[in-house]
Structure 1
Amino acid sequence: MAATPASQASVNELRYPTGSLVMLSGLPGAGKSTLLERLYSLTGEESEPVVAEGGVLVIDSRQARKRWGRVLRPVPSRLQTPLVHTTHTWRVARAVMGGHTVVAHTRGTWPHLLYGFAWLARRMNRDMYLIMLDVEPETALAGQHARGRVISRITFARHCRRWRVLVDRASAGSLPPAAGVTVLSRTAAALVQHIRFVPQADQGGRPAS
């Protein structure tokens, strides 16, 4: 399985089999939540997963952040982070185990999460697909400033190193956890209008890469 970097002319719609787990990954600040917000009309104020057209569950880590931010308002954000990530991971896992079709944000530089979700999907007789939002570190850093939540320089550098390895492996076709991988630049991501789920035998149009 080889990843296909998406060209500007080919990414209006991405299609996946019904029942799949589609993970949207990228550097912190790359625009993952922004893309989900645009595609699924999210407001950023949700604290629970959103049910979209066709029963697709849309799970953004920002939902878990909102959920705990309301309860732990006096606690510094950095101390809330482990609970936020644990809650988000559990929500994705629970949705997959419940048989739902899922589109979810992931901290894509953590390969163990990708392996874990891929293993869980296989256990449920489903496939995991990966959309990698590949932007320059400077662009991701600007995104962090825009959202008002900037991670430390050391942590961000670690994310960047891990991310480059993942993208290189995906481009070489050696990222085994996913049934398919699509790598999108910021420009290509802006052209995506729909993520659609169709029966396995009906994936006309542009299939997942």
Structure 2
Amino acid sequence: MTVNRTTACATSAGVALPEQPAAAPAGVRSAERPAPVVRDLRERAGRSPHGLLFGAGDLVVITGLPGSGKTTLMRRAVRGARIDSQDTRARWDARAPRLLPYAVYRPLVRLAHYAALRRALSGGDGLVVHDCGTQTWVRDWLARAARRRGGTLHLLFLDVTPDTALDGQRRRGRGVSRYAFLRHRRAAARLLRAVERGALPHGCDSAVLLDREAADVLRRIAFTR
């Protein structure tokens, strides 16, 4: 495991390039996966790469507390396909009766989201996925899909304080319950501690840690062609 806290591979255009292992010859499977890499872009006062470039068939999962800015980052920076549960919810909210509580149709929103994710994973293009952080089976699913597609799985973790996340929920006019937020806090804290000590989720090949300043300057998340 390599934890890089000082630099990120960057081109002159400011695009960070996650290190990829050399491809094995056709029909030959590598006997050992390369050690995962963690790049810590926090506490750099916004002097961090403006772009992240991944392999053509890779999967990128963005996680963090509700209100941390995952959807905002995806809408601003992703160049290519993205699957965001918030987009699915917005479509259902627009069609649902105004007085109908979200809790009533939330299971249908989740089913629609996972159906869209399954369809997207059936292709071979790079994909960015919004991860709520509490459903670890989703990351396991993505890891299996990445291997099947011949790509790799990467984690982008938005590390913001709970107060910042709650403020983000207030600004977007939509939040989660106190109980749900506490669940998210515990899950995010466990994942962050694990990544900081070099223990990435199963099947994950790299992780990038972002604070709010690093996320704000990130303008491009793209895939090679």
TM-score (norm 2): 0.76
Choose between structure 1 and 2: higher helix proportion. Answer: 1
Root-mean-square deviation (Å):
1.7
Superimposed CA distance per residue, residues 63-111 of structure 1 (whole angstroms, 9 cap, x where no aligned partner): 2112222332343112222222222222122212122221121212322
> What is the distance in 1 between the residues matched to 2:94 and 2:216?
32
2:61–2:130 Cα contact (<8 Å) kept:
yes
- Answer whether contact 2:37 2:205 (CA < 8 A) is retained: no
- Unaligned runs of 5+ residues in structure 2 are 1-35
Give the match's secondary structure for 1:35.
Answer: helix
1:165 & 1:2 partners in 2: Cα distance?
Answer: 18
The answer as to whether partners of 1:2 and 1:171 remain within 8 angstroms in 2 is no
Partner of 2:135: 110
Whose RCO is larger (CA < 8 A, sep 6+)? 1
Contact 2:57 2:149 in 1 (8 A): no
Within-5 A mapping of 1:52-63: 52=79, 56-63=80-87
Match for 1:138 among 156, 160, 163? 163
TM-score by length of 1: 0.81
Structure 1: gaps of 5 or more residues: 41-51, 200-209
Q: Distance in 1 between matches of 2:76 and 2:149?
A: 29
Tell me by how many angstroms 1:30 deviates.
0.6
Q: Does the CA-based 8 Å contact 2:64-2:188 persist in structure 1?
A: yes
Q: Structure 1 residues 5, 179: CA separation in 2 closer, same or farther (over 3 Å shift)? A: same
Of 110, 115, 118, 1:93 maps to 118
- Distance of 2:131 and 2:139 partners within structure 1: 8
Residue 29 of structure 2 aligns with which residue?
none
Give the ranges of 4+ consecutive aligned residues of structure 1 lying more than 6 Å apart after TM superposition.
none
Deviation, 1:141, is 0.8
Task: Report Cα offsets for 1:4-57 as digits up to 9, x if no partner.
Answer: 2114433211110012111111111110111122225xxxxxxxxxxx5xxx21
Q: Which residue, 95, 112, 115 being the options, matches 1:71?
A: 95
Q: 1:3 aligns with which of 33, 38, 53?
A: 38
Moved more, 121-130 or 1-10: 1-10
- Percent same amino acid at aligned positions? 35
Confirm whether residue 35 of structure 1 aligns to residue 61 of structure 2. Answer: no
Q: Whose radius of gyration is greater, 1 or 2? A: 2
- The match for 2:211 is 185
Query: Could you tell me how far apart the structure 2 residues matched to 1:78 and 1:177 are?
Result: 32
**8 Å Cα contact 1:4-1:171 kept in structure 2:** no
Q: 2:224 aligns with which of 191, 198, 202?
A: 198
